[in-house]
A and B are shown apart, each in its own frame.
Chain A
Amino acid sequence: MAHHPPTVLHLDLTNQSFEVRTHEDLAPWVGGLGWALALFEEYLEEDPIVFAIGPLSGIIPGCSKTIAVFRSPQNGFLTTALGGGHLARSLRFAGYQAVVIKGAAEKPVIINLDKEQALFKDGAYLMNKETGQVFDLLLSSEGVPGQRSVLATGLAAEQGITFSPLYIDEFFAFPRGGLGTAFSQRRLKGLVVSSSGEEDLGTLKQYEEIFSLLLSKVQGFEELERRGTLKNLEVERKISGVPFENLNEPNFEDQNQLVESLTSPARLSCDGCPVGCLHLVLHDKNYVPYDFESVVALGPLLGLTSKEEVVQLLSIAYRVGLDPTSLGVILAYLTEKEKLSFGDVETYLTLVDALLDGKEDWAKALGLGLDEGVKQLGGAEFALTLGGMEFLPYFNGYASILSQVLSLSATSEENRGFLLDLDLLKGELDPALVVTALVAEEKKKILSQLLIGCGYLSLVFEETATAFAALERVGAGVGHEELEDTVEKIFAQKLSLQKRSGFNPHHVKIPARFFSVPSPHGLLEEGKLRQMIKIYCENYFDAQP
């Protein structure tokens, strides 16, 4: 039995009030995703946004993520997002394992959090500004330098564009799903978490042992350190899984050495992680973060392969607060729909301005996301969207697509089909086997998300023995079988909450484009993918209340 009940900060935006409560009832849910889903379910009717960390957060190398659970403004379904930066440690040392946000403010607010304290402040001075300016202002006026984490929304979120991320500590983000927009809908402009507390673990020697063990494990990710997540682009090019020009082609000639030219010495780590996988590139004297997904979406997917062009688009997306992956998929769709030329960066910059402006009908429609846009504009067969969210820009095969169809992954960090597709290249593709393997990977992911480890270090944190040992040594021990049983229950709970939020895998439209371009597995068959969805529903989804 776990003995680590979380202390939860409840924020009521409507009344601008807060309450701190220890939730003894949540102790069996271990942490992270377990706590976040339980809290989301408890306050489901109030449409909450829940953040949670885990027992290892902020004190164990690589356990640097905070999980957010909310209804996505893009599709209305239950969505999870992982964010890094200083947030996990700041929440821990402010004394909170989770935060539940309910209600909506009348005017833009920011909230300054510390131990047993939540100050609601006027956020109007931060409105209508680019992302960098918002952070300049917040960092110069709120919290103690070096001992805080700062969350803020971007301009696009204020405009009601549904695919706007929530930024963390300037360069990190909760990407995808539109958490920035969800904040803006509640007129919450920013959140500052100060980490002034301290902890006495009482079992320092045991802690030091597990700290050293996990440190040695997370130190082995040299390629992730050197190239960031962009390392995946090399892998994808080798297997011809890079969608080029709205997936009219499954690969591109890297004549401009996109990967090499983008590899940057400027990088950042989340707290407690020695890897430093967030890479930044300098553009017009400003640093811009990039990763594998954003580079492919705003590069090859649009027919752009030179660093300068891709960085121009990365920069504008960051400045105005648009999710770069979603933006790239939408621009690729527009290029094909309007018969524009792929690879014309000037056109894309103009389209981004118009999208943000939101005056034209197409911009209004696509500001709600590609799925909504297609309903009004047509072109569903080449609109690369799955389940109300723009697809992840790689074309590996059934498993990575299935994971998105089933709404199990909005980012590559969470998409367990990505690597599974590579493994499946070696053997015969049996639909039942793909489903079984994907669900097994999902359950491993849940284990990591209880702790809550970084998804890019999944090899470390998805191992039961490691999880078990780590929890025990920080005083949050849970029996081996109980841990596995908890993972099963959380998987079922997640599916149940998806269902209650209106999601149904049978209703997900799959663009015909996916079945007309060869993947690394050859041409994919819609019938086979539908069979996988059917098997999944019969065995896992339909049984949930």
Chain B
Amino acid sequence: MAKILKAARMEDCIGCGLCELVASRVTKGKLSYSDSLIQIRKVKPGQPRFKAVIDYGQKTDYKEIRDICPANCFEIAEE
């Protein structure tokens, strides 16, 4: 089974966007939020809650992305 990055604990996300920035760096060697394999979005206005939209059409199991999260929201697990 292939391993993928999973947003397992998004209830702890503080919306810092470090994962988005690191993802673009490790996958594309550039800095971008909009062209990152992870997009962090608010669940809805008025709430400090976020969801992660992950592009699974590419390799995602980067430990750099998992490890950068200060709230430990990610894990790398089998599909």
Given contacts A195-B33, A197-B34, A268-B14, contact A135 B70 (CB under 8 A): no
Q: B45, A147: Cβ atoms under 8 Å?
A: no
**With contact pairs A61-B18, A272-B16 given, residues A266 and B48 touching in the complex (Cβ less than 8 Å):** yes
Cβ of B46 and Cβ of A268 under 8 Å apart? no
> Are A147 and B33 in contact, CB atoms less than 8 angstroms apart?
yes
Contact of B32 among A198, A271, A273, A274 (CB under 8 A): A198
Chain A nearest CB, measured from B42 CB (Å): 7
Residue of B nearest to A89 (CB): B33
Contact of A271 with B16 at beta-carbon distance under 8 Å, contacts A93-B33, A93-B34 already known:
yes
Within 8 A of A (CB), among B14-61: 14-18, 21, 24-25, 29-35, 39-42, 45-48, 53
Identify A170's interface contact among B25, B30, B31, B45, CB under 8 A.
B45
Tell me whether A45 is interfacial, beta carbon within 8 Å.
no
**Any chain A CB within 8 A of the CB of B8?**
no
Q: Are A267 and B30 in contact (CB under 8 A)?
A: no
Known: A204-B29, A287-B48. Contact between A272 and B15, CB under 8 A? Answer: no
Question: Nearest residue in B to A277 (C-beta to C-beta)?
Answer: B14
The reply to whether A195 and B14 form a contact with Cβ atoms under 8 Å apart is no
Interface pair A267/B33, CB less than 8 Å apart: no
- Contact A274 B70, beta carbon cutoff 8 Å: yes
| A271 x B45 contact (CB < 8 A) | no
Taking the closest CB of chain B, its distance from the CB of A148, in whole angstroms, is: 10
Whether A132 and B46, one on each chain, are in contact in the complex, defined by CB atoms closer than 8 angstroms, is yes
- Interface SS of B by simple majority: loop
User: What's the Cα separation between A267 and B47 when bound, in Å?
Assistant: 10
Interface residues of A, Cβ cutoff 8 Å to B: 59, 61, 86, 89, 93, 132, 135-136, 139-140, 144-147, 170-171, 195-201, 204, 208, 215, 219, 266-276, 280, 286-287
* B77 within 8 Å of A (CB atoms): no
The complex places the Cα of A510 from the Cα of B58 at a distance, in Å, of 63
Chain B residues in 8 Å Cβ range of A135: 45-46
Question: Which residue in chain A gives the minimum CB-CB distance to B31?
Answer: A199
Write out the residue numbers on chain B whose beta carbons fall within 8 Å of the beta carbon of A273.
Answer: 16
Task: Tell me whether B70 and A145 are in contact (CB under 8 A).
Answer: no
Docked complex Cα distance between A196 and B70 (Å): 25
New A-B pairs, 18, CB < 8 Å, besides A139-B42, A147-B34, A268-B15: A59-B31, A86-B17, A93-B34, A132-B45, A135-B45, A140-B45, A145-B42, A146-B39, A198-B24, A198-B30, A200-B30, A208-B25, A215-B68, A266-B48, A267-B48, A268-B14, A271-B17, A276-B14
Question: Within 8 Å CB of A171, what residues of B?
Answer: 48
Q: Which residue of the partner chain B has the closest CB to A267? A: B14
Closest B-chain residue to A59, C-beta based? B31
State the Cβ distance, A294 to closest chain B Cβ, in Å. Answer: 17
Chosen A-B contacts, 26 in total, with CB atoms closer than 8 Å, are A59-B21, A89-B17, A93-B32, A132-B46, A136-B46, A139-B45, A146-B39, A147-B34, A195-B33, A196-B34, A198-B24, A198-B31, A200-B31, A204-B25, A269-B15, A269-B16, A270-B16, A271-B17, A272-B18, A272-B21, A274-B70, A276-B14, A276-B70, A280-B48, A286-B46, A287-B46
> Are the C-beta atoms of B71 and A276 separated by less than 8 Å?
yes
Q: How far is the CA of A273 from the CA of B16 in the complex (A)?
A: 6
Return chain B residues, CB-CB under 8 Å to A86: 17
In the assembled complex, how far is the CB of residue A221 from the closest CB belonging to chain B, in whole angstroms? 11
* Residue ID in chain B nearest A199 by CB atoms: B31
B47 CB to closest chain A CB (Å) equals: 7
Contact in complex: B16, A146 (CB < 8 Å): no
Chain A residue with minimal CB distance to B20? A146
Bound Cα distance from A105 to B52, whole angstroms:
38
- Report the 9 A-B pairs with minimum CB-CB distance, sorted nearest first: A274-B70, A198-B32, A276-B14, A269-B16, A146-B41, A269-B14, A199-B31, A139-B45, A271-B17
Q: Which residues of B contact A144 (CB under 8 A)?
A: 34
Contacts of A136 in B (CB 8 A): 45-46
A483 to chain B, nearest CB (A): 24
B18 touches A274 (CB 8 A): yes
Q: How far is the CA of A196 from the CA of B32 in the complex (A)?
A: 8
A197 to B24, CA, bound (A): 12
- The CA of A273 and the CA of B14, in the complex, are separated in Å by 9
Give CA–CA (A135, B45) in the complex, Å.
7
Query: In the complex, A268→B48 CA distance in Å?
Result: 7
Nearest chain A CB to B50 CB, angstrom units: 9
> Could you tell me the distance between the alpha carbons of A537 and B16 in the complex, rounded to whole angstroms?
42
CB distance from B31 to the nearest CB of A (A): 4
